[in-house]
């Protein structure tokens, strides 16, 4: 990871710890772990700031049905 991307990841992780509440876990435990920073989605996958891909099986029914950034949906949104 280049320095610029690492700084961005660190900044986003700091913002996450400072401003977000994650109701799915105990916050005390969450603050001790390195947060997962998702940079983008493609198809059925999420991609973090390190480039690692994760199958997005829990986001919503829309992702399961259409995937992230489906070209037809992107065009409709732009119109």
| Other CB atoms within 10 A of residue 46 CB | 19
pLDDT at 16: 84
For 21-65, what is each residue's pLDDT tens digit? 777 777 677 667 778 888 888 887 889 998 999 987 765 566 656
Task: Kindly list the distances between the CA atom of residue 62 and the CA atoms of 4, 19, 24, 59, 77, in Å, as whole numbers in the listed order.
Answer: 33, 27, 21, 8, 15
Q: Is the pLDDT of residue 4 over 90?
A: no
Q: How many whole angstroms separate alpha carbon 48 and alpha carbon 56?
A: 12
């Amino acid at each position: 990871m280049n320095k610029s991307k690492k700084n961005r990841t660190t900044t986003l992780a700091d913002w996450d710890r400072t401003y977000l509440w994650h109701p799915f876990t105990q916050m005390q435990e969450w603050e001790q772990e390195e947060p997962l920073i998702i940079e983008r989605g493609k198809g059925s996958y999420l991609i973090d700031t390190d480039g690692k891909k994760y199958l997005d099986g829990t986001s919503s029914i829309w992702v399961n049905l259409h995937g992230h950034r489906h070209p037809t949906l992107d065009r409709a949104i732009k119109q």
